[in-house]
Amino acid sequence: METKISKILLIGADGQLGTDLVKVLTKDYELLCPSLAKLDITHFEKVKEYVNQNFPDLIINTAAFHQTDECEKNPEKSFLVNTFAVKNLAEICRERNIPLVHISTDYVFGLDEKRKTPYIEEDLPGPVNIYGISKLAGEYCIRYTLEKYFIIRPAALFGIAGPKGKKYNFVELMLYLAKEKGKVRVKNDEWTSPTYTKELAENIAELIKTDKYGIYHMTSQGECSWYEFAKKIFELTNTKVNLKPVSSEEFPTIAKRPKYSVLENKHLKDIGLDKMSHWEDALKKYLKEKGHI
Ligand SMILES: NC(=O)c1ccc[n+]([C@@H]2O[C@H](COP(=O)([O-])OP(=O)(O)OC[C@H]3O[C@@H](n4cnc5c(N)ncnc54)[C@H](OP(=O)(O)O)[C@@H]3O)[C@@H](O)[C@H]2O)c1
C-alpha cells in the first residue's frame, strides 16, 4: 500500500544531498526548504512550531554535524545535532503521525577491525568515533519513538553541490591537490563504497513512495580503498599526479576512522528497489555532469 504524501519538509536542502533531493522531489511534491538560519533543528520548540504551522506529510532530515574530527573535539554539539535534535524530530513526527526520513551513516560500523565483508542492516553496529556514536544514538532515538521511519545509511558522499562546512568533497579535493601540489598521499587501508548523492536522492524518492519502513543501507555497489578511489578519479580525468598509498598510521587524524565500513543494500534488494550503480559508474556520471570529463 502506498502512502499519500504531497508536502515534504526537507531539512538541509542546500547541502550536498539536499540539493539533489530538491531536484528529484520538486516535480512530485510541494517542498518546504527552510535554511539553517530560518530553522535550526537544535531549537526544539521552534521546529515544533514550524511543523505545526506548515503541516508537512513527511519530514526528511539531511542535517548533521559531520566533520568527523570536529565532532571528536566537540561531543556536546555532536550529540545536540545528531542525537537530541533527531529525537525531537521523531517526537514531532509521532505527535503528527507522519513518517520521518533520516540520513544516518556507514560510520555506525567499524569496531570490528578484522571485518572484510559488507555489513547488512541486521549486523550489530559499533562506531569508532564520536560522530558515529552520536549518529547511532540518533537512530535509536527514532526507533524507540516512531514506527513510521526510514533510516538511510549512505557512505562517502560526493555530489555536484559539495558538502557544506567542508571546502571540497573527496573527488574535488583530489583534483585540487593534484593541480596545486602535483603529488597526493591517500590511505590504502580504509575501505568504503563511494556514493553519488544524485543516485542516493533518486533511490530515496522511490523508497518514500512505499510504506516499507525501517533501516536501509543505500550505497554504491562494490567497494574500494580511498587510495583506489583516488586512483580511479585521476585515471578517468587523465590527471598526471604522483599518487602514493599510505597507511592510516602514516596519516594520523584526531578521530579514528573505520578500517572497513562497506555496506550491502540488503533491505533495498529485498523490496526490489536497489537502483544504485557500481561506484565506478557513479563516479563517471558525476565527473561528466560536473564537466571534468
Ligand atoms: N558527506 C558524507 O560523506 C556522508 C557520508 C555518510 C553519511 N552522511 C550523512 O549524510 C547527510 C548529508 O550529508 P551532506 O554531505 O549532504 O551534508 P552537508 O552538505 O553538510 O549538508 C547538511 C545540511 O544541513 C544543514 N544543517 C547543519 N546543521 C543544521 C542544523 N542544526 N539545523 C538545520 N540545518 C542544519 C546545513 O546547513 P548550512 O548549509 O547552512 O551549513 C546543510 O544545508 C548527513 O546526515 C551526514 O551525516 C554524509
For ligand 1, atom 26, the nearest C-alpha belongs to 63
- With 0-12 / 13-18 / 19 or more C-beta atoms within 10 angstroms meaning exposed / middle / buried, residue 245 is middle
Average pLDDT over residues 90-113: 97
Q: How far is the CA of 98 from the centre of ligand 1 (A)?
A: 22
3-state secondary structure string, the chain? CCCCCCEEEEECCCCHHHHHHHHHHCCCCEEECCCCCCCCCCCHHHHHHHHHHHCCCEEEECCCCCCHHHHHHCHHHHHHHHHHHHHHHHHHHHHHCCCEEEECCHHHCCCCCCCCCCECCCCCCCCCCHHHHHHHHHHHHHHHHCCCEEEEECCCEECCCCCCCCCCCHHHHHHHHHHHHCEEEEECCCEECCEEHHHHHHHHHHHCCCCCCEEEECCCECCEEHHHHHHHHHHHCCCCCEEEEECHHHCCCCCCCCCECCECCHHHHHCCCCCCCEHHHHHHHHHHHCCCC
CA distance 275 to 174: 27
- With 0-12 / 13-18 / 19 or more C-beta atoms within 10 angstroms meaning exposed / middle / buried, residue 44 is middle
**Under 8 Å between Cβ of 150 and 8:** no
- Is the CB of 96 within 6 Å of ligand 1? no
Residues 55-69 have pLDDT tens digits of 999 999 999 999 999
For ligand 1, atom 48, the nearest C-alpha belongs to 157
CA distance 265 to 204: 13
**Under 8 Å between Cβ of 8 and 61:** no
Identify which has the larger pLDDT, 259 or 166. 259
pLDDT computed for residue 163 by the predictor = 82
Single-letter amino acid code for the residue at 25: L
Atom number in ligand 1 closest to CA 162? 19
- Is the CB of 163 within 6 Å of ligand 1? yes
Single-letter amino acid code for the residue at 125: P
Residues 170-218 have pLDDT tens digits of 999 999 999 999 999 999 999 999 999 999 999 999 999 999 999 999 9
Average pLDDT over residues 231-254: 97
Residue 165: pLDDT band (50, 70, 90) is: confident
**Under 8 Å between Cβ of 141 and 86:** yes
Q: Pick from 277, 263, 276, 113: which is nearest to 190 by CA? A: 113
Has residue 4 got a pLDDT over 90?
Answer: no
The rounded mean pLDDT for the chain is 97
Residues 112-164 have pLDDT tens digits of 999 999 999 999 999 999 999 999 999 999 999 999 999 999 999 999 998 88
Our mutation pick for probing the ligand 1 site, out of 17, 38, 87, counting the most ligand atoms within 8 A of Cβ, is: 17
- Is the CB of 165 within 6 Å of ligand 1? yes
**Under 8 Å between Cβ of 171 and 283:** yes
Has residue 166 got a pLDDT over 90?
Answer: no
Atom number in ligand 1 closest to CA 106? 6
Has residue 233 got a pLDDT over 60?
Answer: yes
Q: Which three cell numbers stand for residue 238?
A: 587523465
- Is the CB of 15 within 6 Å of ligand 1? yes
HSE of 59, CA atoms in CB hemisphere, 13 A: 31
pLDDT computed for residue 3 by the predictor = 57
CA distance 223 to 229: 9
Has residue 1 got a pLDDT over 50?
Answer: no
Atom number in ligand 1 closest to CA 170? 3
∠ CA 239-242-247 to the nearest 5 degrees?
120
- Is the CB of 41 within 6 Å of ligand 1? yes
